[in-house]
Each structure stands twice: as structure tokens, then as C-alpha cells.
Chain A
Amino acid sequence: KLLSQRTASNNLHTPDLTDAETEESEYEEAEDPIDAQEIYDMIAHISDPEHPLTLGQLAVVNLSDIEVREKCDKTKISEVVVKITPTITHCSLATLIGLGIRVRLERSLPSRYRINILLKEGSHQSENQVNKQLNDKERVAAACENDQLLGVVSKMLSTCK
């Protein structure tokens, strides 16, 4: 029940355009462009996996570190870049936090958005390794079929509005 409500509210902001049969209506629909504030609102309420606080409260995600490279034409691919700042430079949960953000955005944004999740420069000692994992679609897809991992991610996302 909860899940269906959440999906419904997402759809208010971001109509589901994944169904190719609805392609025609895609052109007609006056969809508001998505801005950084909307992306921030989608991910700021994600719970930190080890603190009783959200990623917004911990300043792991910050409005100023979100960039939307929007194409006006809704049939074109657009890009979202989110830079995250782990609370400590050796944070072992940086990958998990990034995965949570990616899953949240993949579920919320229309398919035309390519989502790039990066650690903010200098915020983590294994920056390149973590970035590589977070942006490998095959590893992300496999992680989302791992029940244990998906359970942790679902818990992180359960505080999203």
C-alpha cells in the first residue's frame, strides 16, 4: 500500500514515460523541466545507513552539488550529476549510499535521464574506485538483484517522501 502511494506521488512530478506505447502523449504533455531542487528533494530524505539522520541533514547531499543538464526536447537524453560528500574520507559505506541515491533516482526520474553519481573531489580516499562502481550499469543491476543489499537500500529509502 505504502509503495503504491509513493509511486503515485512520484508520478505527479515525473510522469512515467517508460512505456513506449505512450510515446505519442510524450510530445503533448507539458512536463516541467526537472531542476536541481527537485533532485535534492528526492534524495535528501534518504536515511544514512548507520546514523539516525538523513543524507540531507548530514550534508552528504547538497543542493549546490547537483547539476541537471537538461535538453528542452523531451525526446532527447538529459543528464543529472550528483556529487556526494561522505562524512569521513574513509567511509566504507560510500558505495552503499551512492547506490541508494542511484536507485532512488532511477525509480523516480523518466528514462531519458542518465544519472551520474560521483564523490565530491577530495572527499574520499578511494574516490576513483567508488565512482567507477557507482556508474557501472552492470554492477548496479546485479546489486539490485541481491536481496540482502536491496533490503538495506529499501530501508534507507523508506524515509523518502
Chain B
Amino acid sequence: MPIELLKSLRLHKDKLWSLDCSKGLMATASSDRKIKLVNLQNLDFKLVEELDDSTHKKSVRSVSFRPNSSILAAGSFDSTISIWGKDDSDPLDNPETDLLAIIEGHENEVKGVAWSHSGEFLASCSRDKSVWIWEADELGEEYECLSVLQEHSQDVKHVVWHPNMNLLASSSYDDTIRLWKEDADDWECAAVLNGHEGTVWCSDFEKSEASLRLVSCSDDATVRVWKYVEEGEDGEDIWTLDAILPNIHSRAVYSVNWSSHGYIASAGSDGILAVYKEVEQGNWEVVAQQNEAHSVFEVNMVKWTRVGDKDLILTGGDDGFANVWCFTP
């Protein structure tokens, strides 16, 4: 089995919804309204800080680190987004993270937050059916709303940016994925991906300069890969379904993540963590499957990261645990 459990971290008293990593730190978000920071360096996985839990009045649903920084955005069911930061000179085992800003604007539950590759933009999405694009200053303290995108017909569950372009993907309860790009002074919908037969919970871009693809997962228990074809005559981008990944899951798939070396990981309600490899263009095989990745609990999040020379898969579940898996191809 190429995946092996390295560490099981009991961090939260309720559902662990989301996690993210940057500069040796992992942040986790939970229904217990707390955000916790864990040191990943040297693989010692020590809990190093608990952020002020009076900040959010309801579940913290999503966390995202600004690339190459320690600035963290957290979206909550209380409809606000909090921004946190520490001095880069703070030691990792004893950071002192401060609240830098609270962003208000969404009408109700914020479900996803994500930073663009350059750290210039923050995207957020909500049950209010909208996606907001914010421009951040360098310190992460000032936020200006550049655009409110209201073309989804239902809740927007998740947002993610392309790893090196200003291209955003949003996943929705309306069963579609929309792609958004900058056009002159505004942001516009570049494409709509139809095909899932249920809520789309999450998507992620391929980490490649050579091709432009997106993987998505859904309540319909499938994981699908979409491929950019060309710009259409009406200015809309043309995307096509590239592959449906092997049918491993029996229930909703909540999270999907594309690694920098080309593997895709997925996890969901059935407790299965799966890793897929593309054996030839558009043809994927399962290379690892971990059942009961969080015992009998649902898995909400899966994320690749690299610490030292190890490829790690981090998962978060309804048991409030973050599990750290070592992946050896």
C-alpha cells in the first residue's frame, strides 16, 4: 500500500471542515469555531497555536493561506471572513498570530475562501449564491471588493484559483462549476461546466504549465477531469470532459486535490481516501485506496503537501481529527 498513516491528530471537538498548509504550518478549521495551527516541520506535528475563538460566532468552514506567507483567511458560517498573520521572524513552534482584519459583505454563510497565486486576490463564496473577489494590500490588512459574481443559481460551495494564472473556479449546489477570469476592469464568467448530477463540492486545477485541466467532485459520487480546449467565437472558453475517474466512491465526494507531481486524491462521505494516477492521457487508475480513513466518520478535506523529502496527504474528518498520510509512489 503506497499510503501509510504517519500521525493522527485529535484537534477539534466537532467536524474538521478544512485545512491548508504554508511555510511549515498547517491550519485547521472546525464546527467548534476554532482555528488551530500545527507545526509540520521535522514531522513532529505539534499543536503550536489556537487562534482567538471568540472571533467567529459560528462554524469556521474554510481556511486558506496566502501563498508564500503566513497570512491566513478563514471563512465562517457567521458570514464573515477573518484574516490572521504573524511576523515571519516568529519561531514556528511559538508563533503569535494576530487578527489583521474582519471582512464583511456576504449575506449569510461563507463556505469557501481562496487566495490567488500572487496573493493579490482573495475569493470568497457563500450560501447567498455569490462569489466575491477582493483585492488585498501587501500587509493583508485592507480589502477592496472588485467584483460580486452572481451567476450561480444556488449556494456556492467552494472556490479555488489556478496555480499560476488569475483564473478562478467555483463549485455549486446548482450542480455546475463556473470559471471566472479578469476582463479589462471586471471579472466575467469564462465557462460553465455541466455534467455532474448533484452538488459539486470542490474542484482543483492541474499543477502544470503545459496543460489546463480541472478536477471536480460531487454528491453524485463521481470525480471528473475537465480540459480547456480553446477560446470560442463568442469569447467564452470551451472546456470538455476529459475523464471520469474510476468509480471508487459510493457516496458524496467532498474534496479533491491535484498534487504537483500529477496525482489526484479524493475523499468523502464513505470514508474512503483514494489516489489516482494518469497512466495515459485521459486514462486514470487507482494507485491507493484507504478505507475508513477517519474510522467510521466522513472525510471533508484532502490536501497534498510536501515536508522535507516526503509527500504527505492531509485529511480532515467529522471526528475532528487531522490525519497525516505518507504517500510513496
Residue positions of A touching B, CB distance < 8 A: 17-18, 20, 23, 75-77, 110-112, 114, 132, 135-139, 141-142, 145
Residue positions of B touching A, CB distance < 8 A: 10, 15, 31, 58-59, 61, 77, 109, 111, 127, 155, 157, 173, 198-199, 219, 251-252, 269-271, 292, 295-298, 318-319, 321
Q: A136: which B residues are within 8 A, CB to CB?
A: 173, 199, 219
Q: A18: which B residues are within 8 A, CB to CB?
A: 319
CB-based contact B111/A138 at 8 Å? yes
CA distance in complex: A132, B175 (Å): 11
Q: How many A-B residue pairs have CB under 8 A?
A: 53
11 contacts between A and B (CB under 8 A): A20-B295, A23-B295, A75-B296, A77-B271, A111-B319, A132-B198, A132-B199, A136-B173, A142-B127, A145-B59, A145-B77
The one of B111, B173, B199, B251 that contacts A114, using a Cβ cutoff of 8 Å: B251
CB-based contact A114/B269 at 8 Å? yes
CA distance in complex: A22, B9 (Å): 16
CB-based contact B15/A75 at 8 Å? no
CB-based contact A142/B270 at 8 Å? no
CB-based contact A20/B10 at 8 Å? yes
Q: B15: which A residues are within 8 A, CB to CB?
A: 141
CB-based contact A141/B10 at 8 Å? no
Taking A141-B77, A145-B77 as known contacts, 8 extra A-B pairs with beta carbons closer than 8 A to each other, sorted by chain A number, are A18-B319, A77-B271, A77-B292, A111-B296, A111-B297, A138-B111, A141-B31, A141-B59
CB-based contact B10/A142 at 8 Å? no
CA distance in complex: A76, B270 (Å): 10
CB-based contact A137/B319 at 8 Å? no
**Least Cβ–Cβ distance between B201 and chain A, in angstroms:** 8
CA distance in complex: A132, B173 (Å): 9
Q: Which of A23, A75, A137, A139 has the most CB of B within 10 A?
A: A137
**Least Cβ–Cβ distance between B289 and chain A, in angstroms:** 15
CA distance in complex: A1, B65 (Å): 44
Q: B77: which A residues are within 8 A, CB to CB?
A: 141-142, 145
Given contacts A114-B269, A132-B199, are A145 and B298 in contact (CB under 8 A)? no
**Least Cβ–Cβ distance between A136 and chain B, in angstroms:** 6
Q: B295: which A residues are within 8 A, CB to CB?
A: 20, 23, 75
